[in-house]
Amino acid sequence: MKIHKVTNVEQFVTKIIPKQAQKNKTIVETIIKNVQKNGDSSVKKYEKKFTGASISNLRVSKSEIKNAYSKVSKNEITALKLSKNKVEKTESVIKNIFKNKKINQDGVQILKKFIPIQSTGCYIPGGLARYPSSVIMSVIPAKVAGVKRIVVVSPPNSNGKIDPLTIVAADICGATEIYKTGGVQAIAALSFGTKSISKVDKIVGPGGAFVTLAKSSVSDNTGIDMLAGPTELGIIADNSANPEYIALDLISQAEHSSDTFCYLITNSEKTAKLVNQIISKLLPTIQRHDLVKSSLSKNGFIAVCKNNSDMINLINHLAPEHLQIMTKNAKSMSSKITSSGLVLLGNYSPSSASDYLLGSNHILPTNGFGKIRGSLSVIDFIKINTEVIASKTSLSKISKHLDTLTSAEGLPNHYEAVRGRLQ
């Protein structure tokens, strides 16, 4: 990993953030248009092109679900259920905050109702790895919220099969439909609908660069949660941090794909050099070392800042998906962080554990969106409906002011609609 001395935070940010290739956008838009026009046939064509899979039926059948259980271990199912229960507990606490509220203002009754959206599509990545954990993180918040139709899509392998553990996770969590498709074509199908896959109201879940672009492209037709991928990990550390822990954490996130964005920000040159040395030493010995090496060399970096203030400023500009703070004053420093998807404090809160079993959600904003939102949660599947009941008396009380405001805006018929009721 390249070590940079940061003297100007703003200039460094402009230089270091990965740029999205324009050609990728063109590819994504072409696939979306073809799926919108040709439906299932385009979905199947792209699966054949990208995965080599010849798929007759896109939907995973009941017998396929049953068969998937025979291919996973009891230990795997136990671990999935533990993760499910932890996320379910967290989301239920959040759900309980949202109770219907009645408000009375001078005779006008306002009711705020918290109701679930009707359908959602959960994108579950595949390809280089399998992600049953992402099933839990996307399906459970929707289930807790009360969403009736929960669709799971995931890329098949070259044999046209979805990973069995992903299928089992979807079944355990209560998904209503599972489909064998991934990539841009899956996002397009969820957004516009095909003969096999009915459109959904909202698409959620993480994905690589192409999936993230696809979600952005269809967001004018279908709701999306956020831009979630490729994965990001930022670590703030001082000379009190264990450099081996830092190295292991950077490696762990970098193994997702070659386009991950993982980095260390420190005020200690010694720590920077030690972490770099440990990574170099570990790389030849680890599994998936080619992928990790490619990721860290292409997108990874170590930034050495002058002081704590510059470290905080840099992190708030980058707004990483995951942020680990490994400093003497982690809690104090955390209070100054305004932009990140998830903050993990101390030596024993690694992002890798949060991806599975800490009870937090690992579907998090990337691409700077940590400045405006946090993790996926039950909130993403609930909308606020407003009911209003006004009386003739309450209208009469505000009539003069309505006349003033409608006249000021040049909309006289707005007032006439009120005046007509008061005569």
- Residue 17: predicted pLDDT: 87
Query: Residue range 361-365: average pLDDT?
Result: 96
Q: Specify the pLDDT at position 126.
A: 86
Two structure tokens written together for 207: 């994905």
pLDDT at 382: 97
Look at residue 160 and tell me whether its pLDDT is greater than 70.
yes
Q: What angle do CA 194, 196, 201 make, to 5 degrees?
A: 60
Block residue for tokens 């170590």: 302
- Write out the CATH class of domain 2-19+230-368: alpha beta
Alpha helices per DSSP H over 96-224: 132-145, 164-173, 183-192, 209-218
> Is 326 a residue whose pLDDT tops 80?
yes
The catalytic position among 321, 387, 409, 416 is 321
pLDDT at res. 230: 87
What pLDDT score does 34 carry? 98
User: What pLDDT does residue 23 have?
Assistant: 80
What's the pLDDT tens digit per position in 385-401? 999 999 999 999 999 99
From the list 238, 235, 266, the residue with the least C-alpha distance to 249 is 235
Q: Residue 20: is its pLDDT beyond 70?
A: no
* Cβ neighbours of 409 (radius 10 Å): 9
Q: Has residue 411 got a pLDDT over 80?
A: yes
pLDDT band at 298 (very low <50, low <70, confident <90, very high): very high
Rg (the chain; Cα; Å): 25
Q: Which of 322, 387, 409, 414 is catalytic?
A: 322
The neighbour count for residue 14, using CB atoms within 10 Å, is 10
Known catalytic residue at 322: yes
- Give me the pLDDT at residue 262, please: 97
Percent of the chain with pLDDT over 70: 99
Mean pLDDT of 337-350: 96
Beta strand 108-116 pairing with 382-389:
antiparallel
Q: Are 183 and 50 in contact (CB under 8 A)?
A: yes
pLDDT value for 21: 66
Q: How confident is the model over 347-372, as a mean pLDDT?
A: 95
Was domain 39-224 assigned CATH 3.10.290.20? Answer: no
For the record, the structure tokens of 55 come out as 């798929």
Residue 270 has what pLDDT? Answer: 97
Mean pLDDT of 43-63: 96
Q: Indicate where the chain has its CATH 3.40.50.1980 domain(s).
A: 2-19+230-368, 39-224
pTM: 0.92
Q: What is the mean pLDDT of the chain?
A: 96
Output the furthest CA–CA distance in the chain (Å, rounded).
86
- Mean of pLDDT values over 369-383: 96
Neighbours of 244 (CB within 10 A): 14
pLDDT tens figures, 180-194:
999 999 999 999 999
Q: What was the pLDDT predicted at 12?
A: 96
